[in-house]
Amino acid sequence: SWGIKDSFTAAGLYLSDLGAGAQTDATERRAASKYYGGSSSYSRSVMNRAACIQTFIDAGTMSASCQDLIF
């Protein structure tokens, strides 16, 4: 059966195939844009959320603007 873990794995593999595996801001942004049909506004949104989540992982806190963005 198909589950949420399968969905996350598939999305990760697809984004990697689109170039995100290089793990640079530019390649991740380009892969996110391709994932959603070329939308640069979508890729900006994805990268902003990713930055908020990474800051939370690194610092253990999240700004009010990130909380509004994530939640």
pLDDT digits (tens, 9 = 90+) for 38-50: 878 888 888 899 9
Closest CA relative to residue 19, chosen from 41, 42, 43: 43
Stated pTM of the model: 0.67
Q: What is the pLDDT of residues 3-32, one digit of tens each?
A: 889 999 999 999 999 999 999 989 988 998
Distance CA 67, CA 52 (A): 8
